[in-house]
Amino acid sequence: MDDPKSFLNPDTKIAGILAPLSAIRGSNDIGIGDTEALVELARWAAGKGFRLIQILPVNEPGSDHSPYNIISSMAIDPSTLSIRPEWLPDIGTAAMRAILKKHDVAVLKSGPVCHAKVAALKHEVLAAAHRNLRGPRGDAKRVGEFEEFCEEEADWLHGYAVFRALCAWNGNTEVVSNWPVEHRSPIAATEWSATLPAGRRARFDELVDFFCYVQWVAMSQWLEVRRAFDELGIALMGDIPVGVSIYSADVWAEPGIFDLSRSSGAPPEKVFQSDPFTMKWGQNWGFPLYNWEAMSRDNFAWWRRRLQLTRSVFHLLRVDHALGFFRIYSFPWRPEENERFLPLDEMQARELTGGRLPGFVPYDDATLENREYNRRQGEMLFRVLLEETGPHRIVAEDLGEVSPYVRPVLKALDIPGFKIPQWERGENGSLVPGSDYERLSMATFATHDHPPLRQFWEDWFKEATTNDAKNDSLHEMKALMAFCGAKGLELPCPFTREVHQALVKGLFASNSWLAVHQITDVFGLSDRFNVPGAIGDENWTARIKGSINEWDFLYSEAVSGVAESISASGRLPA
């Protein structure tokens, strides 16, 4: 097969799949998609003509398990790791099975993701593997490779591992504000650990070493994934989250490069009708803002280090919320206070915040001077990103309230942006034909934040046949079918096989370099992975029905239709 680097240029149109790794059921996973399952997915996808798999962030998340609320910009989520001895050489089959017997693996595998239980199981296996490596029978060669990794990655790894050890020391919580004062900064923690009695100091050092070990295993496995993708001639697209948790190793280690006074987010959007707070105030993500001036003093070393490590695994990177590099919407309160502010008007909110309201920083676009400042900042920052990734290796998620200077800057830098057909409209309100899309773009019907196509369609059909909104809903159905080149359908109609195939084919027929369907849209499912603003055990837990090796049987019509559409669109490998 072709090396992905040979076809990753806009001259070659590519068909792709977006699939949250957690939602994929591999042959050997234990309740969550892992590195081994991702290689399985790549083999399946390559066999259908796909040349790209896009996944969500694999950074280590916080206790809410959101892949966009990460506690490290560098560390990989241990839950993504395969714990089978073939992928984890430091654990034997018998030892692994003994641990698995203590957990109800059948239940974990059959239902939605139970993040806490899966994490606990994998932690137990990884801890046993670490003890084996450091024990008297540990493989000396592997010990040497591990220690070499620790030295090479010391500039971020040691601080991260200390932070994670302190999380464990404090009852497995990353909420630094609940820790003792002597743990809340690297300097204080170093002084504290030096005063520990020998036994407790050894235990703490062992914890630090363990968290370094987990990241060594993680990088080793993910580099194996990269090699497998290279051999299959299929590209892997990763995701750079827009922010990091305020309770992250990054903020703990380098608070000065962040603005901790405001909480990042996005302005109100009517599309999120299930969330009244988002409708009124916007999305309050809770991430601290970047202090760009402070970051510039060392030539953005934090960003460069982050991109260098991520690019070693991924062929392409989606830059989350690209608009935030130009200006970002932010809140003067934390997400925990959202409920308090929901019923208030602007005057009442100002009384509680000292006069501040949610809004854009560094500046809004109210004046020419503000717009020019924002434009120059975004251009400068994306040039930094390009210096580390090279051309045609990042895709900017330029969705939301797009300022008029954003897309011209991205175009001038040869950075692809997103094209969501429902949102790309001409002056008369009609959908822009896919044939008119810039080649340097990525076309998709939905992101992880949106309902899948089937849900959109079924909502339109319900409205078009039951209430006063039928004209608007019918118009949307007709517009989307016109975009797809589908003729002869009597609308409104339910979500049928014919509708599904038209939607799949229509996106692939666009002129965009990358045309990516969410995995639920490939199969015509209504499962949803994330509801913005939702906090609870059910968010980010959905899994696709059936393991990968069952898909051809379970979704036979959809699979054959997709393969035909890829071929017809000219997106098949040469």
Q: Residue 177: what pLDDT?
A: 95
**What is residue 412's predicted lDDT score, i.e. its pLDDT?**
97
Q: What is the mean pLDDT of each run of 10 residues along the chain (574 residues)?
A: 81 96 96 98 97 97 92 98 96 94 93 95 97 94 98 97 98 96 97 97 98 98 98 97 96 97 88 77 94 98 97 97 96 95 96 95 96 98 97 94 95 97 90 96 91 92 79 90 92 95 96 97 92 69 95 96 93 82
Structural tokens at position 134: 């450091």
Residue by residue, DSSP assigns 126-173 as HHHHHHHHHSTT--HHHHHHHHHHHHHTHHHHHHHHHHHHHHHHTTS-
Burial class (CB in 10 A: 0-12, 13-18, 19+), 8: buried
User: Residue ranges of the alpha helices (H) in 467-518?
Assistant: 470-483, 497-508
Cα–chain center distance at 138: 36
pLDDT at 332: 96
Nearest alpha-carbon partner for 508 in 569, 434, 467, 554: 569
Plot region of 378 (φ>0 → left; ψ -120 to 50 → alpha; else → beta): alpha
Q: Is 190 helix (H, G, I), strand (E, B) or coil?
A: helix
pTM for this structure?
Answer: 0.95
Answer for the pair 184, 260: CB distance below 8 angstroms, yes or no: no
pLDDT value, residue 204 = 98
User: What are the distances in angstroms from CA 562 to CA 42, 170, 362?
Assistant: 16, 50, 44
Query: Which sequence spans correspond to the domains of the chain?
Result: 67-244, 254-416
Print burial letters for 383-404: b (CB count within 10 Å at least 16), e (below 16): ebbbebbeebbbbbbbbbeebe
Give the per-residue pLDDT at 385.
Answer: 98
Instruction: Tell me 502's DSSP state.
Output: H
First to last CA, the chain: 10
Strand 283-290 relative to strand 359-361: parallel, antiparallel, unpaired? unpaired
Question: What pLDDT, on a 0 to 100 scale, did the predictor assign at position 354?
Answer: 93
